[in-house]
Amino acid sequence: MQSSKMLGSCVGGGTLSAALPRRALKLKRLISPNSPLLPSHQFHPISRRLTASASAGAQQQQQQHQHQQQNPNLVALEYADLNLNPTISEELGLGHGRIRQHVNPLKTSLSAPVEVPDWNQVFKDPTLPLMVDIGSGSGRFLLWLAKRNLVVRNYLGLEIRKKLVKRSQFWVQDLALSNIHFMFANATTSYQQLVSSYPGPLMLVSILCPDPYFKKRHHKRRVVQKPLVDSIVNSLMPSGQVFIQSDVLDVALDMRDQFDSHSNILTHIREIDTSVLCDSEGWLLNNPMGIRTEREIHAEFEGAKIYRRVYQKQTAFAEGTVFNSSTMLILRWKISAKPSPLLHSITTVSFSSSASTFTPAATADFLHSYTVTPPIQPWPRRLYPKRLISLIAHQPNLDLALQIFHHASKFHPGFSHNYHTYHAILNRLSRSRAFHRMIDPLLSDLKNSQIQCSEDIFITLIRNFGVLGRPKLAFKAFLDVPNFGVQRSVKALNVLLNALVKNSEYGLVHSVFKNCGQRFGVMPNLSTCNILIKALCKKNDVETALKVLDEMPAMGFVPNVVTYTTIIGGYVSRGDMVGAKRVFGEVLDRGWYPDATTYTVLMDGFVKQGKLVDAVKVMDEMEENKVGANEVTYGVMVEAYCKEKKSGEAVNLLNDMLAKGYIPSSTLCCKVIDVLCREGKVEDGYELWKKLLKKNCTPDNAVSSTLIHWFCEKGKVWEAKKLFDQLDTESIPSVMTYNMLIAGMCEAGELCEAGRLWDDMVEKGCTPNAFTYCMLIKGFCKIGKAEEGIKILEEMLDKVCLPNKSTYVMLIEGLCDSGKEAEVTKVVSMAMSSGDANIASWDLLVTKFVGDSDTGGNLLDRILLENVT
């Protein structure tokens, strides 16, 4: 609906139908429900009612069409095996009256939570995993599931229409089901109280085709609101799932956005199970439940698309709670016996030739005959350590990777772990902060398994802990090495010291170095001394580093080029280029040849002090000594030339870099192209970028955005559009790229083209930001259509995209210049209601409008009164 507010009138003064952007044309179609261009499923049944002005023939035709689409035989065929009593409504005294399609959940009678039932009376076994269906409707969907999973899961349906609940409960009794219950309840107010009292785990929540409430003022009645979503996420057990679907895209997007806001807790099912088929937007292509809801049946019969999405809760280990692998497997056993993790559906997989079957028997017999479901499918029939390592390494979900590891040893016949499988799982877990608490139990299992251990597994842990900023865990892993019958080596010591340096634990580095022989039984080597010198230099204690350098021969170590390069880096960091040059001279005096890193460190020091000439001399000396420059060397010097606005030298050096087989980073390319553009050589920058792309340089939106910006600055907006179109064929442009081109089009007065770009931007999933809105407002103000800017501002606030302070000032000035003073009060009121009215806005208002004390006073009174009331 964005284009409707943005381009509601012609830029040139006439109609926009000839050059209207796609989203504006779509809006015109949406205005009329009878438009043949739009399928009928996009509208609520009430919206399909015929107007009083329609002819009798049209009414009859519409009624026949509705009757055909809502034919109850479709539902009866889908749920035929339930064999439900078709005359139940009459027997219950529900009569022939139509059951209300919509009930206002905000009315007072539904505001109080329902009373929590006695779960022991409701379910035969209230400890089974629970599925809650919010808005269970007629109940057929839940009944079908419950009938097939009598001893696996309990089902709770929450419905706000009392007659449907009464009929559903009759069917429960008629089918003699003890694992399903329906309640008349408003989920918004009752959900939390109900599920928190349930003694078993909550493993699945479904919200399927909820009431859409199309009118914007009724959106607050929609069931999926933030408080309910928060309650669902908090009440789900780890690995529990949420299944949402709707045949109305707007409702589906609203639900998706609500649950996507918990992306730190909920994971899209596609990230867990890559076999799940989804479209490019993440909507599931197939129903994962094995049965369709009634609304789904009718919608698909009408040709509508069903938008489905499934989320799974990550193994969010609550503080003080430990979920070990056995716990998770027991939970999975309780949920179901289907191989696929998707919604934990209901069939078993056995390693034997025949599958296990279920009957409602005694618990002991059931447990004896049950086969635990593998955490992934397909599970290999023949499993060996290398295959398991591959499964663990390629599993994106760490929780599943851990379950795979435990399932293999506990439930796969004949399989036992070795050192390499433990190494694989510990490597994966130690690279994620969320799973560090699972490492100690695994190490304990490894220790008790009598598997011969190696130091490599601890080196991996130390390195990964260091990368993640956990130096204490790295140190603990180093201390644990002897507990596994392994002797510490200098390699582990050096990895630990590097991890400590990386996390700025310089004092601890010195302490470990001094005690490495006596306390840890490890003798240092040359690399250990170099790491200590690096720590001292990073601590800005070059003097102590020099002392260590002098003492190294006494310890039996001869300093090498790395040692001196580290000392030079210490001088460079403190800005002492005299000291750096002196140490560099010592390297030459000893007859050593500095490597490319040594020269690069020295050049970088001169560049940081703005001494480009000295840096160039060092590079020339480097070439004379036949030391080849590396990628970092080129990067330092190219950036230096860009900083000094020497585009020619920067381009020449970049070409040398390419000739030697180095691929410059996109950041470096962007800096060179920006310098060329600032010097007015936009075409040269464009040609350079095309050359870089041919040399396999990675396409980058930042470079394209830079070129587009400078093309627009020179007034060459259509050249910029041509470049944009070429970019569009290679990758999806970023918001920044769209913004650059939209800003250029607005500046050039090409508002229709800006609108088309906006349409394309939204269609490709790029959300407009404050800059995008501001550019459009500026464009309309520039061509004298400031009143259109008000529509954009309204939409901007609706999208909770807060305007800049200058946006209001710019719009007010535009309204003043176009003679629309009457609209200014509306803008100021919007600014006050959003809390964005600043001094500049008030100054402009007072200066331009409140010159006359009488009219000005009345104007201010009216604005203040509107916002107070």
DSSP string, 109-161: GGSSPPPPP-HHHH-S-TTS-EEEEES-TTSHHHHHHHHH-TTT-EEEEEES-
Dihedral sign of CA atoms 747, 751, 756, 758 in order: positive
How many C-beta atoms lie closer than 10 Å to residue 319's C-beta?
4
Pairwise CA distance, residues 376 & 390, whole Å: 13
How many C-beta atoms lie closer than 10 Å to residue 703's C-beta?
26
What's the one-letter identity of residue 378? P
What's the one-letter identity of residue 715? G
Q: Which tokens hold the place of 132?
A: 């809650």
Pairwise CA distance, residues 232 & 600, whole Å: 56
Local structure of 524: helix, strand or coil: coil
User: Within 13 Å of residue 319, how many CA atoms lie on the same side as its CB?
Assistant: 0
List Cβ neighbours of 83 (8 Å cut-off, separation of 6 or more). Answer: none
Local structure of 181: helix, strand or coil: strand
Dihedral sign of CA atoms 407, 410, 412, 416 in order: positive
Q: Are 355 and 346 spatial neighbours (Cβ–Cβ below 8 Å)? A: no
For strands 266-268 and 307-313, give the pairing: antiparallel
DSSP string, 262-293: TTTTEEEHHHH-TTS-B-TTS-BSS-TTSS--
From its phi and psi, is residue 626 left (phi > 0), alpha (psi between -120 and 50) or beta? Answer: left
Pairwise CA distance, residues 33 & 44, whole Å: 10
Q: Are 611 and 603 spatial neighbours (Cβ–Cβ below 8 Å)? A: no
DSSP state of 247: S
Pairwise CA distance, residues 556 & 575, whole Å: 32
> Known catalytic residues?
211
Pairwise CA distance, residues 689 & 674, whole Å: 11
Give burial (CB, 10 Å; 0-12/13-18/19+) of 507.
exposed
CA dist list (Å): 779 to 41, 745, 750: 37, 8, 8
For strands 307-313 and 241-246, give the pairing: antiparallel
DSSP string, 479-506: HHGGGGT----HHHHHHHHHHHHHTT-H
List Cβ neighbours of 813 (8 Å cut-off, separation of 6 or more). Answer: 781, 844
